[in-house]
Chains A and B, each alone.
Chain A
């Protein structure tokens, strides 16, 4: 036990600092991928709800493909293909030479795209859950479209979509481990490196579990706090009605 603590600790022979750095990279990667997925999901949910047939068809293909292909393959595809694609775009603008996507960008784009497909469904569900009456009421008092979006639709849809969004966040956090295959020094990668270097995989996978669970618990708490805050108003309204 003492030797394990020394190994994962912060001394000169300890991997603690490296593991914590890995956890920080995991967190940063997850946040970037989540934001990208959220933006994509919002865009696609809007397209699904109000777009023409072509737009809806396109979005259907996107969500079906990205949800039907293992994320590991998506990450590898971007890892090898992303550079070529950007190279091609860059050459159009007259740039020369090679362009590379590093592991962080590959992870952000790949996981962002995958979770964008999930977010589309979550956000669409959130919008559909808004009672028709609320939208009609807003129209009746003469709200403009933008004001209605800002004051009624967005907050209400967000409220209904929040549990689903929390699930997607947890998923992103765990999927970020797959980005270790690109060599990005995130938590899973550091666990692998430390296990192999010391020949003590048990000690380091346990440390990995603890760090991932801590990340999941703390960030899950944030989502729950927001959820409670948004639900707060709801309870008040009901109480007043009673």
Chain B
């Protein structure tokens, strides 16, 4: 019993060694993905052609598995000498960069859809009221449109954040030793799959429960006491 417990503790300690990389993958790719999503939302309203390109992008990245996208970016692009001799290769050579790139491109597609839904949900009356009191475009965006849109989009975005934390487990496919990567290495070293995988699962679960709490707090904060009828 004691030996069992110390084994589990030792496994958990080793798995936690991968936590900084998991967190790095999530934060960097979520930040980059959000920026890209905003850029796409703006491009969509700017020109017809851009709108078509963006919807094709969203179609491809939402319609295919992330595992395939990661495999394509990591192994697929490296097949060509042209790519290997290009300026982008120092970055594409790095598995961490490839993992972050594919996670960011993937989440950008989902986030841009969430953003679109949030913007569409802002009532026309609210915008008209803002204009009626003489708000400038910037002020209107900052004080009326964005707060309402973000508040509306937040539940869906919180789901997307959870998906992203879980998706980082695929980075082990491109040789990264984040929590799951370490878990598979431990499984093949100890042959005790169930114990190791349960410990890894528990780490993710704690991470996600904390994240859910955090987003819930932001949601509360964005809803003024009076409007929560």
Which positions in A face B, CB cutoff 8 Å?
A: 64-65, 67-74, 76-77, 79-81, 84, 170, 174-178, 180, 188, 191-192, 195, 199-203, 205-206, 208-209, 212-213, 216-217
Contacts and interface: CB of A to CB of B under 8 A. Distances in A.
Given A177-B65, A188-B65, A73 B180 contact: yes
26 contacts: A67-B162, A68-B204, A68-B209, A69-B205, A70-B204, A73-B180, A73-B200, A74-B201, A77-B197, A170-B63, A175-B65, A176-B65, A177-B67, A177-B68, A188-B67, A199-B79, A200-B79, A201-B71, A201-B78, A201-B79, A205-B72, A205-B76, A209-B68, A212-B64, A212-B68, A216-B64
A212 B65 contact: yes
Interface residues of B, number: 36
B75 interface: yes
A71 B167 CA distance: 9
Given A69-B166, A209-B72, A170 B62 contact: yes
Contacts of A200: 79
Nearest to A216: B63
A208 B65 CA distance: 10
A200 B201 CA distance: 34
B68 A77 contact: no
Contacts of A70: 166-169, 180, 201, 204
Contacts, number: 113
Contact of B170 (A65, A72, A199, A212): A72
Interface in B156-208: 162, 166-170, 180, 183, 187, 193-194, 197-198, 200-201, 204-205, 208
Interface in B203-223: 204-205, 208-209
Closest 8 A/B residue pairs (Cβ): A177-B65, A70-B169, A80-B193, A201-B75, A205-B72, A216-B63, A68-B208, A202-B76
A176 to B, nearest CB: 8
Nearest to B200: A73
Chain B contact residues: helix, strand, loop or mixed: helix
Contacts of B60: 209, 213
Interface of B: 59-60, 62-68, 71-72, 75-80, 162, 166-170, 180, 183, 187, 193-194, 197-198, 200-201, 204-205, 208-209
Nearest to A204: B76
Contacts of B71: 191-192, 195, 201, 205
B64 A209 contact: yes
Contacts of B66: 174
Contacts of A205: 68, 71-72, 75-76
Contact of A65 (B167, B169, B180, B205): B205
A165 B166 CA distance: 21
Contact of A174 (B65, B76, B168): B65
Given A170-B63, A202-B75, 7 more contacts: A65-B205, A70-B169, A70-B204, A71-B166, A178-B67, A208-B64, A209-B64
